[in-house]
Structure 1
Amino acid sequence: MPALPPWLAEPLWDQFAALLPERPKYHPDRPLGCHHRRISDRIVFDKMLQLLRFGWSYEAIADTSCSASTIRSRRDEWIRLGVFARLMQLALESYGRIVGLVLDQIAVDGAITEAPGGGEAAGRSPVDRGKQGLKRSGMTDGYRIPLGRVLAGANRHDSPLLAPTLHRLEGLGPLPDTITGHLDAGYGSDTTRALLSERGLHGRIAHKGDRAPIQASRRWHIERTHVWQNAFYRLARCYERRVTVIDGFFELADTIITVRSLIRRSWTTHCWDERPSRRP
């Protein structure tokens, strides 16, 4: 079952394959003729997309073409090589070059999801009867493009996670002289205002007691991105226990969101060989 339409899966794979090191068809430590060929990276990549999109277990995704242990080992190998992080960086660079990131307006907010298996970044969820949960403090530009996230336990408050989240701006290249950060009322403290001032950011923070439509401003961008990320069921209900693995899945999801937005926005202004026949 395809996890993504071909107009999105093919360019993702083309760039992903370009980042992979060359591998022999057979393992060099084993004599030829006594073992099977190495499983194709494309097969494992498609399995990773299915894991991310449908949220099934590794055993449910595995079949005669690829085992669950192969998916896990190849996943760990790609994470160790930094392939997912590099893929996300390239997607942001391409989007910024073709469409343009709206970095003078950013939005930051946290979202809590389930983490039934616990793990390094899990904590007691205040909104789910104390069950294990995962919080992500995410950041987007002014057009809902994800710029990075920080993972923590569900019992962590949003405010202390703001500084490491804003730190993700440093890897985006030249920044505008004036940046406005849109935050909800949970960030309304002198500590937050001092942090924004130190970084040269203007903060637009909602006030408690005021009606949301007046104060919401551009905070809805991060809310919309959280919804996009939760459409990947591996992230909405996370069974992974290691932060590096969770980050890898988030980087893959953010890359998909960015490339999808890039194709949709450039469909009316650019032409390329694999351009969809109709706007996605």
Structure 2
Amino acid sequence: MTETRGGRKRWEVDDGLWERIEPLLPVIERRFRYGGRRQLDDRRVLCGILFVLYTGVPWRYLPQELGFGSGMTCWRRLRKWNEAGVWQRLHEMLLAGLRAAGVLDLSRASVDSSHLRAMKGGAATGPSPVDRGKTGSKHHVIVDAHGIPLAVTLTGGNRNDVNQLIPMIRAVPPIRGKRGQPLRRPKHLYADRGYDHESYRDQVRRFETTPHIGRRGTEHGSGLGAHRWVVEGAIALLHWFRRLRLRWEVRDDIHRAFIALGCAVICWRRLRTAL
């Protein structure tokens, strides 16, 4: 794994990100009588979770010499923090920061999906039509005009894209960061031919959003790609995390936790550049 500038490993949590994460973590009361072994530092455990996200290494092979604790310790902490809503709140906080910095643009949004193989099956999987019927899942992604991930949903690999169009719009959280009403709905929505269905166009309009969806049976060159390419770039960034290229988790909540954490890391990179 390569290093970032200054020699810091990519999975190490910098001070700015940690200042935003630490207040979100649930507080564990320390028992002074029969306290048992002292709990491993949260920041080190988070580095271990990020190490797995970046490298895709199995939990049991998490390098002990790096001080992350055991793979099971990191797995339990990831699950616990996910149940407490830490990753979703972190993502929403960073989106608000991006809006305050003038980076977020909801004048238009784009949606798309990507298949990935589910190596061990589990919830939210199904036979993939693009992978010879092998068990897989789908990442359904909606981004703003600059490719910032607003929400990602997870389904089985056999689910039709258009069925997730409305759930994706609803999954966009209210984005604060400025005075007045929080932003939530894009003004325009761009999608490819996989979302071509008149009833869904009507449903999108009910959100006061104008749909721009490619039509089946027409020639290429609709011009939608000028706005849609950002979602393809966002999917590429998500799958740059090796743990999100293949799904190894049987439990869908653990995979969703990795997705939310990946979205937060992408948002933090954008925000750090803007600050």
Normalised by the length of structure 1, the TM-score is 0.86
Secondary structure of 1:172's counterpart equals coil
**Hey, what does 1:142 align to over in structure 2?**
145
- Give the counterpart of 1:263 among 257, 265, 272: 272
**Hey, what does 2:206 align to over in structure 1?**
198
Residues 126, 177 of structure 1: alpha-carbon distance in 2 compared, 3 angstrom cutoff: closer
- Give the counterpart of 2:262 among 253, 258, 271: 253
**Hey, what does 1:55 align to over in structure 2?**
56
CA distances 1:28-82 after superposition (whole Å, capped 9, x unpaired): 28625xx432111111100011011111100111516411221122112111211
**Contact 1:181-1:202 within 8 A present in 2 as well:** yes
Query: Are 1:23 and 2:31 an aligned pair?
Result: no
Query: Are 1:131 and 2:130 an aligned pair?
Result: no
Secondary structure of 2:188's counterpart equals strand
> How many aligned residue pairs are there?
261
**Contact 1:3-1:54 within 8 A present in 2 as well:** no
Query: Are 1:164 and 2:148 an aligned pair?
Result: no
For structure 1, which segment, 64-73 or 244-253, has the greater mean C-alpha deviation from structure 2 after superposition? 64-73
Partner letter of residue 19 of structure 1?
Answer: L
Distance 2:58 2:11 in 1: 22
Residues 210, 56 of structure 1: alpha-carbon distance in 2 compared, 3 angstrom cutoff: same
Distance 1:176 1:167 in 2: 9
Partner letter of residue 220 of structure 1?
Answer: W
**Hey, what does 1:114 align to over in structure 2?**
117
CA distances 1:215-235 after superposition (whole Å, capped 9, x unpaired): 423111110000000000111
Query: Are 1:234 and 2:239 an aligned pair?
Result: no
Identity %: 28
Distance 1:77 1:178 in 2: 32
Residues 185, 10 of structure 1: alpha-carbon distance in 2 compared, 3 angstrom cutoff: same
**Hey, what does 2:4 align to over in structure 1?**
none
**Hey, what does 1:11 align to over in structure 2?**
16
Residues 177, 250 of structure 1: alpha-carbon distance in 2 compared, 3 angstrom cutoff: closer
* Structure 1: runs of 5 or more not aligned: 271-280
* Structure 2: runs of 5 or more not aligned: 2-7, 177-181
Secondary structure of 1:248's counterpart equals helix
Residues 177, 89 of structure 1: alpha-carbon distance in 2 compared, 3 angstrom cutoff: closer
Normalised by the length of structure 2, the TM-score is 0.87
Give the superposition deviation at 1:85.
1.1
**Hey, what does 1:185 align to over in structure 2?**
193
Query: Are 1:46 and 2:51 an aligned pair?
Result: no
**Contact 1:3-1:49 within 8 A present in 2 as well:** no
Residues 198, 131 of structure 1: alpha-carbon distance in 2 compared, 3 angstrom cutoff: same
Alpha-carbon RMSD: 2.2
Give the superposition deviation at 1:263.
2.0
**Contact 2:11-2:47 within 8 A present in 1 as well:** no
Distance 1:42 1:250 in 2: 19
**Contact 2:110-2:145 within 8 A present in 1 as well:** yes
Give the superposition deviation at 1:214.
3.1
Query: Are 1:70 and 2:79 an aligned pair?
Result: no
Partner letter of residue 199 of structure 1?
Answer: F
Distance 2:256 2:243 in 1: 12
For structure 1, which segment, 151-160 or 168-177, has the greater mean C-alpha deviation from structure 2 after superposition? 168-177
Which stretches of structure 1, 4 residues or more, deviate above 4 A after TM superposition?
none
